[in-house]
Amino acid sequence: MSHLSSEEFIDLLDGALPPARGQHLLTCAACRTEAEALTGVLTRAAAVGEVPAPSPLFWAHLSSRIRAGLAAPIARTWQELVWWPGSGWAAGLASMLLVLLVSQSSFRGSSDLHLGSSPAAHTVRAAADPADDIDNDQAWAVVRTVADDAGDDAAEDAGIATRPDAAERITLELSAREKSELAQLLAGELKRSGT
Amino acid sequence: MLTRTWVTAGEPESRIRVTQPSPPRAATPGVAGADWTVAADQVLVDASLSGETAAFDVIVERYQRQVYQLCYRFVGNHEDASDLAQDVFIRAYRGLRGFRGRSALGTWLYRIAVNVSLNRMALKAPRTEPIDHREHRDAAIELPETTLLRSERAAEVRAAVARLPRKQRATLILRVYHELPHQEIAEILGSSVGAVKANFFHALANLKKLLQ
């Protein structure tokens, strides 16, 4: 008789494993060991405890916050700003960004070859890191420029509510990790769309 | 067909019972000052879409605990969980027209909460609260060493859960802590029951490795 599948192990934990398959456990030490291990870890996970109850006043406060949030004008996050459905300029923006990122990366790579691994080289590389000096980063400058050049009319046509200097503000506020995340999103979107 | 009945907002813990039929659709209150609290979910959705803000308030009141608790399970701290819960309801309100009633309103809200929470975690590592803020056992009848040990073990489990891949983590949280049936989890995650079970199995297997 074959070993239990992953689904059957879960059925076993749920007490829903058909008796015929349960017979297998009587003769298979490997499945029995696995079942005991899964039961143990499930018990341990379940014992973590309940979510601590917030102050009773919190719920009224949360309701108020939600009402206030609904009354406020829609403010898009940087991800939504970039990926709002129908924002045709996003693909162009993504293309330009990636091209620049790649070209800049290549440029840095060639520079590194010349600079070697001296402390000075590290200094130069650090200064070129967009995370350290966003104002001098070409890729992000292009992001800001392209976003601004897209124009409010195009953005409104795409359903995006923009504010003056929105792209500038967003890029300045992004952390290194968020910029990395955005680059990954752009790359993923390009790959998905086959651009 | 099994349908889920959500606990009322006044109950302290999110527990889902799957063997009870959903309540009959209540009559629309229909007049100003009517008691929306007794209305069925779909009635509240329809009323909210018609501009009855009080109806959406009832939806919030009805589900805010479950949504908050789910978000907390992902991020592990009150501040982020409350922000996420607020975000979930705002997104729900703005997307209410897209709710077709094919799944329960609670399932739909859970789906939003899972997506919002996973997206937040992808962008920002959650700041877990100090252990003593999270443990609410009766310390008066327990030795301090025992409390500390339990807290440490719980923290280990939380840290391990946080390291699971996204779908495995979501599946484990929904199954173990919210006790949702596999079918509901499949609806929330947009996958099949078989995939949910496989994810749950791998979540437990990975958790076992991480906790060794």
Q: Which residues of A touch B89 (CB under 8 A)?
A: 66, 69
pLDDT given at position B165: 93
Please say if the pLDDT value at position B202 is more than 50: yes
Please say if the pLDDT value at position B183 is more than 90: yes
pLDDT given at position A143: 53
pLDDT given at position A127: 34
pLDDT given at position B8: 35
Mean pLDDT on B14-28: 40
Size of interface A-B (CB pairs under 8 A): 104
d(CA A56, CA A168): 41
CB spacing of A47 vs B154 below 8 angstroms? yes
CB spacing of B207 vs A10 below 8 angstroms? no
Answer with the residue of higher pLDDT: B206 or B135. Answer: B206
pLDDT band at B89 (very low <50, low <70, confident <90, very high): very high
Answer with the residue of higher pLDDT: B80 or B22. Answer: B80
Q: Considering CB atoms only, which of A9, A10, A51 is closest to B72?
A: A51
For residue B192, give the amino acid letter.
S
Domain ranges across chain B: 1-22+38-129, 142-212
pLDDT given at position B107: 95
CB spacing of A62 vs B94 below 8 angstroms? no
3-class DSSP state of B126: coil
Q: Which residues of A touch B13 (CB under 8 A)?
A: 50
Q: Which residues of B touch A159 (CB under 8 A)?
A: none
Q: Considering CB atoms only, which of A42, A45, A181 is closest to B122?
A: A181
Sequence-distant (≥ 6) Cβ neighbours of residue B169 within 8 angstroms? B74, B118, B161, B162, B203
- β-strand pairing of B5-6 with B16-17: antiparallel
Chain A contact probe: residue of B57, B117, B208, B210 with most A CBs at under 10 A? B208
Chain A contact probe: residue of B150, B200, B202, B211 with most A CBs at under 10 A? B200
Q: How far away is chain B from the Cα of A129, in angstroms, using its nearest Cα? A: 20
Residues in chain A, pLDDT under 50: 85-86, 105-138, 141, 144-145, 148-149, 151-153, 155-156, 162-165, 168
Please say if the pLDDT value at position B206 is more than 90: yes
pLDDT given at position B126: 63
In this structure, of B123-127, B152-156, B172-176, the range with the lowest mean pLDDT score is B123-127
Which residue is listed with tokens 């309801």? Answer: B89
pLDDT given at position B180: 96
> Inter-axis angle of helices B105-123 and A176-193, to 10 degrees?
120
Over the stretch B50-77, which tens digit does the pLDDT of each residue have? 999 899 999 999 999 999 999 999 998 9
pLDDT band at B6 (very low <50, low <70, confident <90, very high): very low
- Complex confidence, ipTM: 0.75
pLDDT given at position A23: 93
d(CA A95, CA A97): 5
Token pair, residue A170, equals 């967003």
Using a pLDDT cut of 90, give the percent of chain B over it.
56
Q: Which residues of B touch A11 (CB under 8 A)?
A: 197
Q: Which residue of A has its CA nearest to B200?
A: A10
Is the Cβ–Cβ distance between B160 and B211 less than 8 Å? Answer: yes
Token pair, residue B55, equals 């109806």
Q: Considering CB atoms only, which of A9, A79, A178 is closest to B201?
A: A9
Q: Considering CB atoms only, which of B136, B177, B198 is closest to A7?
A: B198
Chain B contact probe: residue of A3, A4, A5, A6 with most B CBs at under 10 A? A6
For CA atoms B122, B124, B125, B131, give the dihedral sign: negative
Answer with the residue of higher pLDDT: B6 or A56. Answer: A56
> Which CATH number is B142-212's, of 1.10.10.10, 3.40.50.2000, 1.20.1630.10, 1.10.1240.10?
1.10.10.10
Mean pLDDT on B119-146: 63
Q: Which residues of A touch B63 (CB under 8 A)?
A: none
Would you call A66 an interface residue with chain B, using a CB distance cutoff of 8 Å? yes
Chain A contact probe: residue of B82, B90, B129, B184 with most A CBs at under 10 A? B90
> Which CATH number is B1-22+38-129's, of 1.20.1090.10, 2.60.40.10, 1.10.287.610, 1.10.1740.10?
1.10.1740.10
- Provide the whole-model pTM: 0.62
Answer with the residue of higher pLDDT: A37 or B130. Answer: A37
